[in-house]
Amino acid sequence: MHGGLTQSESLEICRLLAENGIDSIEVSGNGTSVQGIRAHVNEAYFLDFAAELAENVNVPVILVGGLRSVETMQEIIDTTKIELLSLSRPLLREPNLPLKFLEGSSTVSKCVSCNSCYGSHAHRCIFR
């Protein structure tokens, strides 16, 4: 965002944190919940930075932001050094989504990334 940290500044801060004992780093951003995320189309909008970070620190890197499909999540785990994934809006829509993924009854979140949950009471999905 305008006036925020650059990518290189963020990487340096994360390196310093890792060198000084932080347990893990979750890659996210302020005010960046992107609308219109679709499975297999435009998932994981912090992936590039998180993958670069994971190559440069010796602590687990956690990726959040626009994850919608098991296939994309598995590919990230298989092809990068990112160790953990985090979900937010998909769990507002489907609190039992991890169980559905585990059972194989679903491979894609029903979250349509409309961001209406942010304007609702207690951040509830308007489709539930």
Please give the model's pTM, rounded to 2 decimal places: 0.90
pLDDT tens digits for range 43-102 = 999 999 999 999 999 999 999 999 999 999 999 999 999 999 999 999 999 999 999 999
pLDDT of res. 63:
97
At CA 7, angle to CA 6 and CA 10, rounded to 5? 85
pLDDT band at 120 (very low <50, low <70, confident <90, very high): confident
Q: Residue 66, SS3? A: coil
Q: Is the dihedral of CA 5, 45, 88, 53 positive or negative?
A: negative
pLDDT tens digits for range 3-34 = 888 999 999 999 999 999 999 999 998 766 88
Two structure tokens written together for 85: 């994934």
pLDDT tens digits for range 85-119 = 999 999 999 999 999 999 999 999 999 999 999 88
d(CA 128, CA 109): 13
Asked whether 97 and 104 are in contact (CB, 8 A), the reply is no
Asked whether 80 and 41 are in contact (CB, 8 A), the reply is no
In 38-92, beta strands by DSSP E: 61-63, 84-85
